[in-house]
Amino acid sequence: MRRQAEPGSTSSAGEVRSRRLVPGDHPEEACGVFGVLLGSKSSVASFAVFDGLYALQHRGQESAGIAAVHDGRITVVKDLGLVASVFDEATLRSLPGRLAIGHTRYATAGDRSWSNAQPLLHSSDHAEVAVAHNGNLTDGASTTADGARPSDTERIARVVAEALAHAGADTTEVAQAIAGALAELHGAFSLVMTDGRHLIGARDRHGFRPLCVGRLSDGGWVLASETPALDVIGARVERELEPGEVLVIDDHGATQAYIPGSRYQHLCIFEFVYFARPDAKLLGIEVHGARRRMGERLARVAPVEADMVMGVPDSGLPAAEGYALASGIPYGQGLVKNRYIGRTFINPGALQRAHAIRRKLNALEDNVRGKRLIVVDDSVVRGATTRQIVTLLRHAGADAVHLRISSPPYRWPCFYGIDTPSRPELLAARLGEDEIAAELGADSIAYLPLDDLRAAIGLDDGCCDACLTGRYPEVLGETEEAMLGAVGGKLVGSPIRPRSLVAAPGYPERARGEPCTNCSKTGF
């Protein structure tokens, strides 16, 4: 069996170098996960996984990997870098088989090194499993006999492999065994896995991170973090996995099980604000439309006299369009983004960050000179990037720069799969709005209130907003709980609604356990 390609091996994945990301003003997403079981026995799944990961590249740029199954054997190739730099045609052809999973990573926990790239392949005496994981566990891991502390993904792989070793061959037994094993874990996890026989998807009991399922015209199945990854390979979106759901897929169809105990709807609200692609649908809601409505509401609650509304590329653009539409102020472009730079892998420092922003963004002087600008962005975390943007626009001749943020102030760290700094580093945690404007060099700053954010999305409840409110819905480790106690954070929770929480457009909601007429097995 060919194992995970090691650094310096003959894998065509390329040379491995240790790199660091430049921290920005947005919370950084954890990962993208993808998996496919093709219906055609002559097809190669690794090519479909490559396309799916490419569509999820925005969710992680540090590493990419694919685990492919051929003749019951799992082969993993992974490396640091973007999807297109890790995999070429020759590498993909070396991964035969019609069942494969993939992962693209942004590190939120653990060293940013090859060893933490995924999928992770775990073997025991009686079972083997490859795991692609999006999220963070919050119940601290115990150290092993040799003093090592396993990663979250290692912990997940270990409990799943143990469950598989004691499960029978029936998919119902497999699904129930995995669901029981995952009940031991707390925190955020959306998983795409394979044991060499099945394509397996699972979400934590809160549904913090997204995961959806689709069908291919050849009868195959697809799992992905976001719906556009299904679109790009021609799959039809069926639905989103429910919080706490485990889905086991083989050639005979799909079988559900649920993690025992209470389940909740706590999808991360920042999936709508920033993380997800604008063409993604979450909870049946298209993200672009939600962001545009955020801008419309922002214009109503935070008006200001100006000559032009502009957005910070790319995630600030839909909200800027909405702000311009609602305010009647002309919409224009003030910044050009270098779309070929991707993420900048250099050591973080003040000078390097400033240079990184100039490599990524440049001002359109003729468009901004002499104008009072409303600059719309989705969030401000540390403030370094926003400060550089304000400086760029000032140097280009802007008369005034009014910042309008299409989410509430980001005041609390996230422990559920998002890479955010400690609370003292969060600008809004230590400064008021006037102080933030002065710190960033802006004439003013205003944020969208939480009630308006929820209304723009179309939610009464049902999203995790801990980073905005300090109300944490899931168990935390001792370190996190001690930190929360010191700064006033709270643990909260709300029961899941009795009916299915998500249904793709055109698909009716179903009560748990009702058959889906679009799928092959009762209970899916």
Active site residues per annotation = 31
Per DSSP, the three-state class of 15 is coil
Name residues whose C-beta falls within 8 Å of residue 433's C-beta, 6 or more positions apart in sequence: 409, 445, 446, 447
Nearest to 240 by CA among 269, 278, 277, 202: 202
Asked if omega into 25 is within 30° of 0 (cis), the reply is no
C-beta of residue 134 within 8 angstroms of C-beta of residue 190: yes
Amino acid symbol at 345: F
**431: exposed, middle or buried (C-beta count within 10 Å: 0-12, 13-18, 19+)?**
middle
239 CB neighbour count, 10 Å cutoff: 20
**Cβ–Cβ < 8 Å for 339, 360:** no
Neighbouring-strand partners of residue 67:
76, 101
Longest dimension (CA), the chain: 72
- d(C-alpha 391, C-alpha 162), whole Å: 55
State how far the Cα of 278 lies from the Cα of 294, in Å rounded to an integer.
13
Position 171: which residue type?
A: T
Burial of residue 506, with CB atoms counted within 10 A of its CB: 0-12 exposed, 13-18 middle, 19 or more buried: exposed
Q: How far apart are CA 193 and CA 101, in angstroms?
A: 7
Q: Which residues pair with 36 in a beta bridge?
A: 100, 222
The pairing of strands 99-105 and 31-37 is antiparallel
